[in-house]
Amino acid sequence: MRKLWRLGERSLSIRAIQPDDETLWLALMKNMSWATRYKRGARRPEELRPEDARRAVSPDPGNEIALVAMAASASEQDMVGVARAARSGAETWEFALVVLDAWQRRGVGRRLMIALMESLQEHRAKVLEGDVIASNRNMLDFVTRLGFEIRAHPDQPHVKRVARRLGQRGEAVDAESTEQGSDI
C-alpha cells in the first residue's frame, strides 16, 4: 500500500512499517512533545530500549498492522505518524495513533486511520477500538468524526473507550469525506 499526496513542499505517503524503519521510528519517538507523548501513553526517549524499536518495526503479520506516514523532500525523509492495530479478540482490534505535533491538524491522522480501517477489513475485523485519555478532547472529537462511539472505560475513570464497527469493504472510505478541519 502506498498512498501519496502533497502537503506544502513535502510529499507524504502511507505504507506498512518495515524492519529497516528502526532509525526513523526512534526519531519519531524522540521528536514527540511531552504533551503528545503523555496523551498517547508513549515512553520517554531515554526509556526506549533497542528491543522496543525492533518490536515496533516488526509487527506480527497475523495479529498486528502498523502503518506509517512518511514525509519526503528532495533531501530527507521523515516518519511523521504511525497508526497501529493489534488483534484483541476474534474480530476486534485495538488501535493506537500518533502524529508528530508539527503535522497534526493537517490530515495525516485521518488518512492514517482510514488506511488502517481499510487494512483491517482485509483481516476480517469487525470492531476497531481504543482507549483515549478523557481530557484529550482533540482526539475524542477526531474519532467521533470518523464514526467511533465514545463510552466510559470499564476500569479507568480518566479514560474513555472508543469503538467503531467496520462493515463491508469500502465503508471505511466514507470517513474520508468527513470534516477536514481538525485532525490529529
Residuewise pLDDT in 10s, the chain (184 residues): 566 777 777 789 999 999 999 999 988 888 888 888 777 766 666 667 778 889 999 999 889 999 999 998 766 789 999 999 999 998 999 999 999 998 999 899 999 999 999 999 888 899 999 999 999 999 999 999 999 999 999 999 999 999 999 975 444 444 444 444 445 5
Which CATH number applies to 3-177? 3.40.630.30
CB 16 within 8 A of CB 70: no
**Residue 23: count of CB within 10 angstroms of its CB:** 11
CB 175 within 8 A of CB 114: yes
Query: What's the pLDDT at 74?
Result: 64
Query: What's the pLDDT at 44?
Result: 63
Sign of the alpha-carbon torsion through 44, 66, 27, 112:
negative
Query: What's the pLDDT at 176?
Result: 45
Q: Where are the domains of the chain?
A: 3-177
Global pTM? Answer: 0.85
